[in-house]
Amino acid sequence: MKQHLKTALWFTLVTTIIFGVIYPLAVTGLAQLLFPRQANGSLLTGAPNAGSQLIGQPFSSDAYFHPRPSAAGTGYDPLNSSGSNLAPTNHQLVERVQTDVAKLHAENPSVSVPIDLVTASASGLDPDISPAAAQFQIPRVARARKIAPQELHKFVDAHTTPRQFGILGESRVNVLELNRALDATFPQN
């Protein structure tokens, strides 16, 4: 019995050192060596809009493209990442979506509202919107920045990421990257 206990303790100690210290350090070191930008959070620094390409952030000014709604904490809280977990028949969800749809219809009455502008992602931190959601917002952003909508259509198209390898996922627009490029190309007056 004493020998089994000694073996079990040594096994626990050795596996803890290997898988709890050596392996994480090796993986972190390789990530820093091979993919330093991604390993450090894909951060975009510099004014006025700094942040991570991987985490959605709130933009509420009419001069910026808005992200998907967030159900993470008080909104875009990475420490409280989650969806709302409300069923499609829940009256709170239905009322919120109806309110958002009415607000967006007032902004752009002649176009149907893309679903991702009124529904939160599972994490509540999705950094991307669909190209349709970005195109929907063009009239508002063009008015706020005094830009021709045709210019903004081309701009959004240029910042749309296609499906990976042409087959995986959907086309998408990273809101932070788009708004940073918008500030660089069409500064606000």
Please state the φ and ψ torsions of residue 15, each to the nearest 5 degrees. Answer: -70, -35
Both 132 and 87 in one domain: the answer is yes
Both 60 and 32 in one domain: the answer is no
Both 70 and 138 in one domain: the answer is yes
Taking only the tens place, the pLDDT of each residue in 90-147 is 888 888 888 888 888 888 888 888 988 888 777 777 888 999 999 999 999 998 889 9
Taking only the tens place, the pLDDT of each residue in 85-101 is 778 888 888 888 888 88
CA 39 to each of CA 30, 54, 177: distance values in angstroms, whole numbers, following the listed order: 9, 12, 18
Both 81 and 144 in one domain: the answer is yes
**How is residue 40 written in tokens?**
């450090």
Both 2 and 31 in one domain: the answer is yes
Both 96 and 75 in one domain: the answer is yes
Both 152 and 170 in one domain: the answer is yes
The parent domain of residue 96 ranges over 43-185
